[in-house]
Amino acid sequence: MSDIAIRVEKLSKQYRIGGPQPRYKTLRESLTEAAQAPFRRAAKLLRGEAYGAAGLDETIWALKDVSFSVDRGEVVGIIGRNGAGKSTLLKILSRITEPTEGHAEIRGRVGSLLEVGTGFHPELTGRENIYLNGAILGMKRAEIEEKFNEIVAFSEIERFIDTPIKHYSSGMTVRLAFSVAAHLEPEILLVDEVLAVGDVAFQKKCLGKMDTIASEGRTVLFVSHNMESILNLCSRGILLEVGRKAAEGPVDDVVQEYLAASFARSECALSERTDRTGNGRIRFKAFFMRDKEGNPIGSVATGDTVDFVLPYEMVDKPIPKVTVWFWILDTRGRGLLCFWSRLTGEDFKDILPKGEFVCRVPCFPLTPGTYAVDIRSADADGPMDCVENAARVEVVTGDFFGTGRALKGIGDFACKHSWRLSG
């Protein structure tokens, strides 16, 4: 029996954008269209219209010529920017969508955790959906019943197990979906970045379960933007860029290549970034720092007061209330600090069409190094502008304690403290 669980060869997926999607045609319609095609081309030429690529609806390749294989029992991380093709790859492997070119071979029973609620019927209860998902995986009712109590206990939604899924919150749906996918013992588990919906405690619980699954020799393909999770769980990594495989190898090497590219990309103007997400009602124009006197600075010293400035423009009607936040991350992609207007009770109302969000941080605590920044904004309808690796923050040595001693090699953070002798 082959040791390969997943084999992908020159996998490509094309989508049409900017126009109506084609519907399935009957044989009669297809034959009629083929017969009429030469006459339509002649008519276009007589009218002076170009015929060819310019006359077609625009298409994009979400994946293009991607090839790799995954051995049984291997845990592989798929990383890349938004729009790189990660989710499309998992949807093809889950047989939710078909490839345009190439093929994928899956050897074993597959459990998928992709978008929130994928595979669930909203009108059915949580209990009924557990049995439905088990049946889809090819399990017998007796097998599902054997795991049922364990699934419900892990999901922590016992009180709502007989409530229709349509009444669940996104967090509850993720809890049940992960529990079903993980406990019904698929030979291959495909997990997309949906755990971010759950709370921190449940995320840790899920990651622990995935670690257990991997130790049992089952195959895991894990898509995540959390580099710490990728590094902890995976032995090998695959980096996708604009639908193509950019790197493959030991997970540490692939993560470092991804982060190095992210740092280089952060030097571009935000207006040039096409991988931002959100409804676009507000767009960030830049991210930079000023000292407490208002002068722009390229780096901040540990212990200094610093203003983080996010110029914006509003591209839609007035927004009743806006919340803004940004994460500072280390070179492994771990979130070290989060500055969020909601935490300080400073949600913004009746903002001007253009302006700046300014966050002042007294006594900046990070020790010397180079850090990445993710920026976010949201209103009552959800995310408006989200840009990963939007900028870099360079931290240099500062006299944090006022003693003239440099801070080096003492960890990630500095914290005010004092000592006394008692005895």
Residue 195, Ramachandran bin (φ over 0: left; ψ between -120 and 50: alpha; else beta): alpha
pLDDT band at 202 (very low <50, low <70, confident <90, very high): confident
> Which region among 16-20, 50-54, 77-81 has the lowest average model confidence (pLDDT)?
50-54
Q: How high is the pLDDT of residue 264?
A: 57
pLDDT tens-digit readout, 75-131 = 999 998 777 889 899 989 988 889 999 999 998 888 777 765 566 888 999 999 999
> Which region among 48-52, 55-59, 225-229 has the lowest average model confidence (pLDDT)?
48-52
Instruction: Report the distance separating Cα 38 and Cα 279, nearest Å.
Output: 42
pLDDT tens-digit readout, 279-319 = 889 999 989 889 888 888 888 888 899 999 999 998 877 78
Q: Are 373 and 390 in contact (CB under 8 A)?
A: yes
- Is there a shared CATH topology between the 64-264 domain and the 271-396 domain? no
Q: Are 21 and 15 in contact (CB under 8 A)?
A: no
Cα–Cα nearest to 326, from 340, 316, 312: 340
Cα–Cα nearest to 327, from 353, 294, 366, 362: 366
Sign of the dihedral through C-alpha 410, 411, 416, 417: negative
Q: Are 233 and 72 in contact (CB under 8 A)?
A: no
Please state, rounded to an integer, the average pLDDT across all residues of the chain. Answer: 82
pLDDT tens-digit readout, 319-333 = 888 999 999 988 777
Sign of the dihedral through C-alpha 93, 95, 101, 104: positive
Name the pairing type of β-strands 110-113 and 188-191. Answer: parallel
Q: Are 227 and 255 in contact (CB under 8 A)?
A: yes
Cβ-count burial 355-379 (b if 16+ within 10 Å, e if not): eebebebeebbbbbeebbbbbbbbb
Nearest 5°: the CA angle 365, 337, 80 is 135
Cα–Cα nearest to 66, from 89, 45, 46: 89
The residues spanned by each domain of the chain are 64-264, 271-396
Record the pTM: 0.61
Q: Three-state SS for 53?
A: helix
Q: What is the token pair recorded at 237?
A: 């990594």
**Quick one: average pLDDT of 240-256?**
91
Cα–Cα nearest to 328, from 266, 378, 382: 266
Instruction: Report the distance separating Cα 116 and Cα 84, nearest Å.
Output: 20
Q: How high is the pLDDT of residue 56?
A: 46
Within 10 A of 105 (CB to CB), how many other CB atoms are there? Answer: 13
- Fold for domain 64-264? Rossmann fold (3.40.50)
- Spatial neighbors of 51 by CB under 8 A, at least 6 apart, are 41, 44, 45
Q: Which residue has the tokens 């193509």?
A: 244
The alpha carbon of residue 104 and the mean position of all alpha carbons in its chain are separated, in whole angstroms, by: 23
pLDDT band at 385 (very low <50, low <70, confident <90, very high): very high
Q: How high is the pLDDT of residue 54?
A: 43
Instruction: Report the distance separating Cα 114 and Cα 108, nearest Å.
Output: 18
CATH for 271-396 (3.30.110.30, 3.20.20.60, 2.70.50.60, 2.30.110.10):
2.70.50.60
Q: What is the token pair recorded at 297?
A: 């600075």
